[in-house]
Amino acid sequence: MAEATRLGEGLRAYRLIAGMWIRSTMTYRTSFALTVVGNLLITGMDFAAILLMFSQVDSLGGWTLPEVALLYGLSATAFGFADLLLGSMDVLGGRIRDGSFDTLLVRPAPVLAQVGADQFALRRLGRITQGVLVLGYALVAVDVEWTAAKVLLVPVMVVCGAVIFGSLFVAGAAFQFVAQDAAEVQNAFTYGGGTLLQYPPTVFGTDLVRGVTYVLPLAFVNWVPAAYVLGRPYPLDLPEWAAFAPPLVAGGFCVLAGLAWRAGLRAYRSTGS
């Protein structure tokens, strides 16, 4: 019961702070409109790169354009939701350095909710829009015998993918308590992971694929379940049921990110200023 109220409190705080940032953004409406379009275009550049590549070839690593678009759409949409909800957490490093993080600790609201909603950037809807557009194109264009399981797997992938990326953002934020200036390392895992998953696993070296399957199991965002949907061989010959493991993997990511966040918060030493 206490946990439930705490969660409710956190969500309420998140909603209030995010609402404040949205109002603040809306003060400069032209700039907001420009930045949403800009965000859409910036994040769309990854896909433009893929289109450019496919203007020269018919397949990449044995995957056709609609198939790669499916991977891309799933990865980008899942990442987009995580980015909208928690993507501003990298400002935490700045708050730790200038000491303003102390203010968050004395406020009567869960710290994670405050940090998550800090600098909430509605312009990130651009990335989601772009991901959804590509995903929509891919779902229409791929040659798939749709079954109930395959249809159900699509939203499951997006939700679980968002949870997995969101956990990475939280873990990255926790890392900043110890890393301080080295905050950029987390980009290698969040943005790097998002980019990696936009391409077929057959493109990459086996060791890299092993790493993102067994060590940091990002492969369950889209590689494995999308291989099931497309009827392609799984990376690393994983068993058939692995396609349905994303909720399990996402749960594991959540638990570990939560532990990392608590450990990070406990390790916090104020600058004293």
Partner 1 sequence: MGSGRLYAAVAAGGFRRYATYRAATAAGVFTNTVFGIILVYTYLALWDERPHLGGYDQTQAVTYAWLGQALYSTLAIQGGGAEKDLMARIRTGEIAVDLYRPADLQLWWLASDLGRAVFQMLGRGVIPFTFGALFFSMALPQDITTWVAFLVAVALAMIVSFGIRYLAALMMFWLMDDRGVTQTMMILGIFCSGMTLPLNAFPDPFGDIVQSLPWAAQLQMPANVLMGEVSPWHAYAFQAGWAVVLLAAGRLLQSAATRRVVVQGG
Binding positions for partner 1, rule: CB under 8 A: 28, 30-31, 34-35, 38-39, 41-42, 45-46, 48-49, 52-53, 55-61, 123, 179-185, 187-188, 192, 195-196, 199, 202-205, 208
Residue pair 197/71 in contact by the 8 Å Cβ criterion: yes
As measured in angstroms, the least distance from the Cβ of 191 to partner 1 is 8
Q: Which is nearer to partner 1, 31 or 147 (CB)?
A: 31
Q: How far is the CB of 30 from partner 1 (least distance, A)?
A: 8
Nearer to partner 1, 137 or 204 (CB): 204
Minimum distance from CB of 55 to partner 1 (Å)?
A: 4
Q: Which is closer to partner 1, CB of 197 or CB of 238?
A: 197
Whole-angstrom distance between the N-terminal and C-terminal Cα of the chain?
A: 37
Q: How far is the CB of 4 from partner 1 (least distance, A)?
A: 38
- CB-nearer residue toward partner 1: 31 or 103: 31
Q: Where would I find the H helices in 204-269?
A: 206-210, 223-230, 246-266
φ, ψ (nearest 5 deg) of residue 64? -85, 170
For the chain, what is the total number of helices (H) and then of strands (E)?
12, 2
Shorter beta-carbon distance to partner 1: residue 145 or 181 = 181
- Minimum distance from CB of 110 to partner 1 (Å)? 28
Shortest approach of partner 1 to residue 251 CB, angstroms?
26
Residue closer to partner 1 (CB basis): 36 or 242? 36
CB burial of 201-236 (b: ≥16 within 10 Å; e: otherwise) equals beebeeeebeebbeeebbbbbbbbbbbbbbebebbe
User: Comparing C-alpha atoms, which of 264, 256, 236, 43 is closest to residue 163?
Assistant: 256
Determine contact, residues 11/113, Cβ cutoff 8 Å.
Answer: yes
